[in-house]
Amino acid sequence: MGKFHDSIKPAHQEFIKNQHIFFVSTAPLSKDGRVNLSPKGLDCFRILSEHKVAYMDLISSGNETSAHTLENGRITFMFCSFDETPNIIRLYGKGYTVLSDSAEWEKYATHFTIYPSTRQIIVADIDLVQTSCGFGVPFFEYRGERDIHFDWAQKKGEEGLKKYIQDNNLTSLDGLPTNIGSSEI
């Protein structure tokens, strides 16, 4: 079952900083709604305190995290080791979206490299940390980050990225508004 902690301890922080990938999960309140689980990389996760984290979110095909956290705030992050030391850490909390035109943007943006394709920053207040063994997680070798997203964004250009957001990021798969969609109304 693992061990539970009321905050992100220094050993947890060190483990998280050494991971090249993490997963973020959210879900709508509707029993028929779709649970979203998304992998993230590119050194975009930051531990801001023992109870607060954030990640820089790039434009992508959906915007489920924004819609779900707008509706109910529930968010879970998972980090797992693929190297010699098996370990899994889950961070549970309440999340919210910070957009570039919000008063909080500068407070959080300074922690990241902001790209032309940065869509938003997801911030979460963490109230529970779970550690578990990770004995069943296989070994994988990290070979580096992909450039595909940045090539795609450069080809789209500023106006193309804005149009892509309008076409793909204003609502969730289940029709819930995202923060971007709410600010457009």
Residue with tokens 């992050």: 77
* DSSP state, residue 35: P
Bridge-partner residues for 36, per DSSP?
26
Q: What is the model's pTM?
A: 0.95
Averaged pLDDT for residues 13-27: 97
Bridge-partner residues for 123, per DSSP?
54, 96
Residue type, 123: V
Residue 185 has pLDDT above 50, yes or no: no
The Cα-based distances of 171 to 30, 118, 176 in angstroms read 15, 18, 5
Bridge-partner residues for 40, per DSSP?
22
* 3-class state of residue 123 by DSSP: strand
Q: Tens of pLDDT along 58-116?
A: 999 999 999 999 999 999 999 999 998 899 999 999 999 999 999 999 999 999 999 99
Q: How far is CA 91 from the centre of its chain?
A: 12
The domain spans of the chain are 3-184
Residue 184 has pLDDT above 60, yes or no: no
| Architecture of domain 3-184 in this structure | Roll (2.30)
Nearest to 161 by CA among 98, 100, 73, 96: 100
Averaged pLDDT for residues 127-137: 95
Q: What is the DSSP string of 89-115?
A: EEEEEEEEEE-TTSTTHHHHHTTS---
| Signed CA dihedral, 6, 55, 97, 40: sign only | negative
